[in-house]
């Protein structure tokens, strides 16, 4: 192996409830320091792929039945989520999933759970998160359930950062947010990527935005990868333009 990928998903198959086949052999790679976009329509299997990686599938009666998932060359598909967070993979779930009755700051602190008892490192980390998301500092004592959608998304990303991850699996960060806010969040993601060296695997429906910020992209359709390539070349691809970007150069084709 020439360069070892940070994350390598090799031909995985996922079955829910022992019968429902959702992923039919998905392979992808994330190199250290990359932002990789996972694109596709509703139900294509983006979220399932992310959950397979973060070991959250079993909590939903799903199971990886074939293939393997390697993180820095070692298998992780049989670990539990807590062990995975300790190794440096953290998922930000679709729909944000903040702890509604906890304050914003408490939400962030739960992210540091795997790092043991509160010591100086955690409060430094907290300041760092506040530096990236100044808005969260203002709202630190507000109950997360009463903050805006954008603030909740920031809380969710900040919470993941508290675990000092190498790789963040970010599921649909643009969901339900105003375009301006989406841009703000993507800019912060890019910042985190370039300054902190955090790699991202990003599931998005907002293909345009995702390809603009990502280095590499995979397109999923009904549980299979149908196309992959450099983000810039995907953005230029005619089929992608037509089916995912809503642009068409040669009129309508059937």
Partner 1 sequence: MSFFIEVVVGGLLAGVMYSLVALGFVLIYKASGVFNFAQGSLVFFAALTFVSLTERGWNFWLALLVTLIAMILVGIAIERTVLRPLVNQPPITLLMATIGLTFVLEGASQLMWGSQPHGLELGIPDVPIEWLSQKWNINISQFDLFGAFVAGVLVAVLALFFQKTRIGRALRAVADDHQAALAVGIPLQHIWAIVWAVAGFVALVAGVMWGVRNGVQYALTFTALKALPVLILGGFESIAGAIVGGLIIGAGEKLAEVYLGPYVGGGIESWFAYVIALLFLLVRPEGLFGEKIIDRV
From residue 80, give the alpha-carbon distance in Å to each of 47, 83, 162, 182.
18, 6, 19, 31
When the beta carbons of 75 and 86 are compared against partner 1, the nearer one is 86
C-alpha 246 chain-centroid distance: 24
User: In Å, how far are 90, 109, 155 from 145, measured between CA atoms?
Assistant: 22, 16, 11
In contact, 224 and 25? CB cutoff 8 Å: yes
Residue 204, H or E segment = strand 199-204
Nearest CB to partner 1, comparing residues 21 and 59 = 59
Judged by CB, which is closer to partner 1: 12, or 84?
84
Chain positions contacting partner 1, by CB under 8 A: 54, 56, 59, 61, 80-82, 84-86, 90-93, 97-102, 106-107, 109-111, 113-114, 117-118, 143, 145-146, 149, 156, 159-160, 162-163
Kindly state the smallest distance separating residue 84's Cβ from partner 1, in Å. 7
Residue 144 Cβ vs partner 1, minimum distance, rounded to whole Å: 9
Compare residues 18 and 253 and give the one whose CB is closer to partner 1.
18
Angle, CA of 145, 185 and 38, to the nearest 5°: 105
Q: Which two tokens stand for residue 234?
A: 């995907």
Could you tell me the smallest distance in angstroms from the CB atom of residue 108 to partner 1?
10
Closest approach, Cβ 145 to partner 1, in A, equals: 3
Q: CB-wise, 60 or 230, nearer to partner 1?
A: 60
Q: What angle do CA 219, 221, 253 make, to 5 degrees?
A: 90
Give min distance, CB of 114 to partner 1, in A.
4
């Amino acid at each position: 192996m020439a360069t070892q990928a940070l994350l390598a998903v090799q031909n995985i198959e996922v079955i829910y409830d022992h019968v429902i086949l959702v992923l039919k052999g998905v392979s992808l790679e994330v190199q250290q320091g990359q932002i990789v976009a996972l694109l596709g329509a509703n139900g294509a299997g983006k979220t399932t792929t992310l959950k397979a990686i973060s070991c959250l599938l079993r909590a939903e009666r799903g199971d990886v039945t074939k293939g393997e998932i390697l993180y820095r060359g070692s298998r992780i598909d049989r670990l539990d989520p807590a062990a995975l967070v300790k190794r440096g993979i953290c998922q930000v779930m679709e729909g944000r999933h903040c702890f509604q009755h906890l304050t914003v700051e408490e939400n962030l602190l739960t992210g540091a759970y795997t790092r043991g008892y509160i010591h100086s490192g955690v409060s430094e980390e907290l300041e760092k998160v506040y530096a990236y998301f100044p808005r969260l500092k203002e709202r630190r004592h507000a109950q997360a359930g009463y903050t805006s959608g954008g603030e909740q998304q920031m809380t969710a990303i900040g919470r993941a950062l508290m675990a000092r991850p190498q790789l963040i699996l970010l599921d649909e960060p643009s969901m339900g947010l105003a375009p301006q806010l989406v841009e703000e969040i993507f800019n912060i993601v890019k910042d985190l990527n370039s300054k902190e060296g955090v790699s991202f695997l990003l599931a998005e429906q907002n293909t345009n935005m995702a390809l603009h910020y990502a280095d590499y992209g995979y397109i999923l359709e009904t549980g299979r990868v149908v196309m992959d390539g450099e983000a810039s070349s995907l953005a230029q691809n005619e089929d992608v333009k037509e089916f995912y970007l809503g642009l068409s150069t040669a009129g309508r084709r059937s």
